[in-house]
Amino acid sequence: MDLSRFPRRRYTNFATPLEFLPNFTRALAASCPGGKGPNVWIKRDDMLGLFPGGNKTRKLEFLVADALAKGADTLVTCGAPQSNHCRITLAAAVKEGLKCRFVIEERVPGSYKVDASGNNFMFRLMGVEAITVVPGGSNMAAEMQKVAEDVARAGRKAYIIPGGGSNAIGGLGYVACAQELQQQMFDEGLSFDRLVVGSGSSGTHGGLVAGFLGNNIRIPIVGIGVSRDLPDQQPLVLKEAQAVLDLLGVDIKVKPADVHCVGGYWQPKYSMGNQRMVEAVQMLARTEGIPLDPVYTGKIMAGLIGLAREGELKAGENVLFLHTGGLPSLHAYEREVLGETELPA
């Protein structure tokens, strides 16, 4: 799969590490049937550039390059309060000398606080040009278009980046990740039985599906839903993976069997905590010293833990967890992740 014909800005000058988690593996095994569980590894995409990086960094390498090629001077994107995607998009804009505007969707009424810690602090520190807050359920594409029109009236040119950077161009970032992982496994003599990844706006999950199919990487991908269960999530991932393959000109049709989504770990709502997330965040922090965030990676790791305890992830399997970042939002959820507030199971 040839990515070289697409413009790309490089924000990370190394392959993100693959690390075995021996202490976490032992702690997880102790809670699994028979005291045995999978061997858990982690790919540190939380260490990507545009610090503190995450999965959006890979997508923005292609999206920002496309914006620059089209002569844009302003990036417009959207997300929920505490959006990692918005924060990393702003970091890319700053690095490239561009302006940046957000549309923030209050999926939980009253949840956006201008002076909040975490990513909201980063928005102010890095100098976001403007933030428009809209109610949950708003048409985000239409709202971003309004912002782009405001930019145009000021004599400038906006480039709209969808939520999560999830479109075919953004998905190229995780085709690149699939190729990077394939090379690492060869170089380091590693093999994995499963890859566990978050599945939300679908750019990461869909890009990996496309990259694995196109590069003949025969490792099942398990997508843990962070905002939807399987009936609603699987079609989004399938559509994204197909769009990426079509953009690349690869004659492969993505089948439902290629897209494995798991629900049940994100409730009660997107961005709202639960006890399983708290357990997962604390377990990894207290066994390996690696932080997870409460909105995405905490719930994704909760899914990995749950699947191991249910026997879906087999004892002795090598399971790779993709850490997609999100560290700043931890500071906006301190009491939750320390178990100091009452949360649903």
**Residues with catalytic roles:** 83
Query: Cα(275)–Cα(109) distance, rounded to whole angstroms?
Result: 22
Collapsing DSSP states into helix, strand and coil, what is residue 261? Answer: strand
| Cβ pair 223, 188 in contact under 8 A | no
Dihedral class, residue 240 (left if φ above 0, else alpha if ψ from -120 to 50, else beta):
alpha
- Strand order of the β-sheet with 74-79 is 130-135, 99-106, 74-79, 158-160
Cα distance between the two ends of the chain = 43
Q: How many helices (H) and strands (E) does the chain have?
A: 11, 10
Give CA angle at 281 (91, 34), nearest 5°: 140
